[in-house]
C-alpha cells in the first residue's frame, strides 16, 4: 500500500499496488475465537458471513466501515448483533451517503440494531450518536503537529470498542485521546507512555481539557476567502495544494480571481477599480481569510491587511518563508510555512466562530 499523504492534510491517496491480484483467504481456526464476546471488525474485501461463523452466538460486533465496502448492506448478516457502527468523514462510503446530511446513515445504523453511531470528523473532533437514548455527545479534537495519521482512526475505534464496559460515552472519549497520542509520535514507547498518562485522568478532567469542535456539516456555512496570487499564468502548486486541502475538509473556499474574473495585464483603471470593489465585497462576506502570499504578492498583502483591520481571522500559509515580518506574523491568527499547522489554525478559528453562534 502506497500512501501519498501520511499526515492527511488532504486526501491520503491510498494506492493498493496489488489491485485485482490481491486475494483474501479466511483460515479455519476452529473454536479459537469462540470465547470472545466483544468483537471489532474492519470490513474489507472478504466475506463477512464467514467471519461471523468464527464466533459464538453470544458475540456482539462493532464495525468501523470505511474502505472496500460498497454500502452498509454487508452488515445485514449481523442484524440484531451490532453494538456500534463507526465511520470517518474520509470514507468514500460516508461521502456518498452522509456528506450532505448524517440522518440517512443514522437510520441505517438504527435499522441494524446498533446502540451507537460514531462519526469521526478528523480535525473537527467527533460525534457519538446514542441511538437508544437519542442523544449526541460531541468530543473535541486536541490539535497539534501531526506526525502520522495512518491508523489514527483504527486506534480510536479499537479503544472505544475495547472499553465499552465503561459506557459508550467514556469509551469514545478514551478512544479519541488515545488516537491523539498515536498521531503525535511513531515511537511505540512514547505512545504507551502518553496513553498511560491519559488513563489516569477522569472523564471530567478529559472534558476540562477542551479542544476544537467543528462538525463536518457545519463547515460549509463559513466562507473562507482565498487571498493569493491565484492566477492561471503563475506557477502556484502551493496554492493548488492548499485549496485541495480546504475542500477535502469540507470548507467553502471562495476564490475571488475565479469568481470575479482574471483581468488582462493591461486592464484600464476603471476595470481595475471595479474588480477591486467586487473582491472587497466578497471578502466582506467571508468569515475567515486563508492567505498564501507567494512572491510577496501586493494584492494578497493588501487583502490580508484589510481583513485584519476588520478583525477577521487571517490564516497565513507562507510556504516559501517570504513574509516572515512583524506585521504579517503579528496580525495573523495563525502563521506558518507548514500547511498542517495552518489547517489546525483554520479549524481553531472557525471552531470559535461556530461555538459563538451555537
- Higher pLDDT, residue 205 or 24: 205
Q: Confirm if 107 and 98 have CB atoms less than 8 A apart.
A: no
pLDDT band at 261 (very low <50, low <70, confident <90, very high): confident
pLDDT number for residue 149: 85
Q: Residue 187 maps to which CATH number?
A: 3.40.1190.20
- Report the pLDDT averaged over residues 299-316: 97
Residue 22, classified by CB atoms within 10 Å of its CB into exposed (0-12), middle (13-18) or buried (19+), is: exposed
pLDDT digits (tens, 9 = 90+) for 136-185: 999 999 998 888 888 999 999 999 999 999 999 999 999 999 999 999 99
Neighbour tally for 251: CB within 10 Å: 22
Could you say which of 168, 183, 208 is where a domain stops? 208
pLDDT digits (tens, 9 = 90+) for 37-69: 999 999 988 889 899 999 999 999 999 997 777
Q: Confirm if 293 and 226 have CB atoms less than 8 A apart.
A: no
Cα 282 to chain centroid distance, Å, stands at 27
pLDDT number for residue 146: 86
Same domain for 159 and 278: no
Same domain for 227 and 204: no
Same domain for 285 and 146: no
Could you say which of 208, 241, 257 is where a domain stops? 208
For every residue of 124-185, DSSP letters joined together read: G-EEEEETTTTEEEEE-B-----S--TTHHHHHHHHHHHTGGG-HHHHHHHHHHHHHHHHT-
Residue with cell 460549509: 220
> What domain count does the chain have?
2
Cell numbers for 28, please give them: 479455519
pLDDT number for residue 28: 86
pLDDT number for residue 55: 94
Taking each helix axis from N to C terminus, what angle separates 152-162 and 168-183, rounded to the nearest 10 degrees? Answer: 150
Same domain for 166 and 49: yes
The torsion region of residue 332 among left (phi > 0), alpha (psi -120 to 50) and beta comes to beta
Same domain for 49 and 137: yes
- Report the pLDDT averaged over residues 256-264: 90
Same domain for 66 and 146: yes
Q: Residue 285 maps to which CATH number?
A: 3.40.50.450
Could you say which of 178, 208, 238 is where a domain stops? 208
The CA-CA-CA angle for residues 83, 140, 342, to 5°, reads: 130
For every residue of 71-112, DSSP letters joined together read: SGGGGGGGTT-EEEEEEETT-HHHHHHTSS-SHHHHHHHHHT
Same domain for 271 and 123: no
Cell numbers for 113, please give them: 440494531
Residue 25, classified by CB atoms within 10 Å of its CB into exposed (0-12), middle (13-18) or buried (19+), is: exposed
Same domain for 349 and 309: yes
Stretch among 5-14, 23-32, 71-80, 236-245 having the lowest mean pLDDT:
5-14
Q: Confirm if 82 and 65 have CB atoms less than 8 A apart.
A: no
Of 143, 321, 332, which Cα lies nearest the Cα of 227?
332
Same domain for 287 and 145: no
Same domain for 272 and 129: no
Sign of CA dihedral 303, 355, 333, 253: negative
Structural domain span for residue 101: 2-208
Cell numbers for 107, please give them: 437510520
Same domain for 334 and 203: no
| Radius of gyration from C-alpha coordinates of the chain | 23
Q: Where are the alpha helices (DSSP H) in the chain?
A: 48-52, 92-97, 103-111, 152-162, 168-183, 188-199, 203-208, 237-248, 256-260, 269-285, 298-309, 326-331, 339-357
pLDDT number for residue 142: 93
User: Distance between CA 305 and CA 311 in Å, rounded?
Assistant: 10
Same domain for 168 and 27: yes
Average pLDDT, the chain: 93
User: Distance between CA 349 and CA 343 in Å, rounded?
Assistant: 10
- Report the pLDDT averaged over residues 320-338: 96
Cα 313 to Cα 69, 291, 339, distances in angstroms: 40, 10, 16
Amino acid at each position: 500500500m502506497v500512501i501519498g499523504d501520511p499526515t492527511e492534510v488532504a486526501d491520503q491517496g491510498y494506492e493498493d499496488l496489488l489491485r485485482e491480484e490481491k486475494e483474501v483467504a479466511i483460515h479455519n481456526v476452529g473454536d479459537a475465537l469462540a470465547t470472545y464476546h466483544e468483537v471489532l471488525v474492519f470490513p474489507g474485501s472478504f466475506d463477512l458471513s464467514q467471519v461471523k461463523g468464527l464466533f459464538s452466538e453470544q458475540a456482539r460486533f462493532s464495525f468501523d466501515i470505511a474502505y472496500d465496502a460498497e454500502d452498509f448492506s454487508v452488515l445485514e448478516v449481523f442484524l440484531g448483533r451490532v453494538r456500534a457502527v463507526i465511520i470517518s468523514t474520509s470514507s468514500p462510503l460516508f461521502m456518498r451517503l452522509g456528506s450532505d446530511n448524517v440522518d440517512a446513515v443514522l437510520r441505517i445504523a438504527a435499522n441494524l440494531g446498533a446502540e451507537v453511531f460514531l462519526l469521526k470528523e478528523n480535525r473537527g473532533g467527533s460525534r457519538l450518536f446514542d441511538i437508544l437514548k437519542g442523544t449526541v455527545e460531541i468530543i473535541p479534537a486536541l490539535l497539534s503537529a501531526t506526525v502520522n495519521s495512518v491508523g489514527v482512526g483504527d486506534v480510536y475505534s479499537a479503544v472505544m470498542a475495547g472499553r465499552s464496559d465503561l459506557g459508550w460515552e467514556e469509551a469514545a472519549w478514551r478512544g479519541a485521546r488515545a488516537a491523539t497520542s498515536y498521531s503525535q509520535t511513531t515511537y511505540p514507547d512514547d505512545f504507551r507512555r502518553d496513553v498511560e498518562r491519559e488513563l489516569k485522568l477522569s472523564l471530567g478532567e478529559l472534558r476540562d481539557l477542551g479542544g476544537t469542535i467543528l462538525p463536518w456539516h457545519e463547515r460549509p456555512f463559513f466562507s473562507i476567502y482565498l487571498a493569493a496570487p491565484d492566477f492561471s499564468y503563475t506557477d502556484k502548486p502551493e496554492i493548488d495544494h492548499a485549496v485541495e486541502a480546504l475542500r477535502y475538509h469540507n470548507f467553502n473556499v471562495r476564490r475571488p480571481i475565479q469568481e470575479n474574473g482574471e483581468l488582462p495585464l493591461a486592464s484600464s483603471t476603471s476595470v481595475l477599480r471595479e474588480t477591486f470593489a467586487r473582491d472587497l465585497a466578497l471578502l466582506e462576506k467571508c468569515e475567515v481569510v486563508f492567505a498564501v502570499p507567494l512572491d510577496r504578492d501586493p494584492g494578497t498583502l493588501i487583502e490580508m491587511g484589510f481583513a485584519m483591520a476588520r478583525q477577521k481571522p487571517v490564516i497565513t500559509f507562507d510556504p516559501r518563508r517570504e513574509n516572515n515580518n512583524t506585521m504579517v506574523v503579528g496580525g495573523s491568527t495563525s502563521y506558518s510555512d507548514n500547511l498542517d499547522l495552518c489547517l489546525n489554525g483554520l479549524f481553531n478559528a472557525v471552531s470559535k466562530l461556530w461555538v459563538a453562534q451555537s
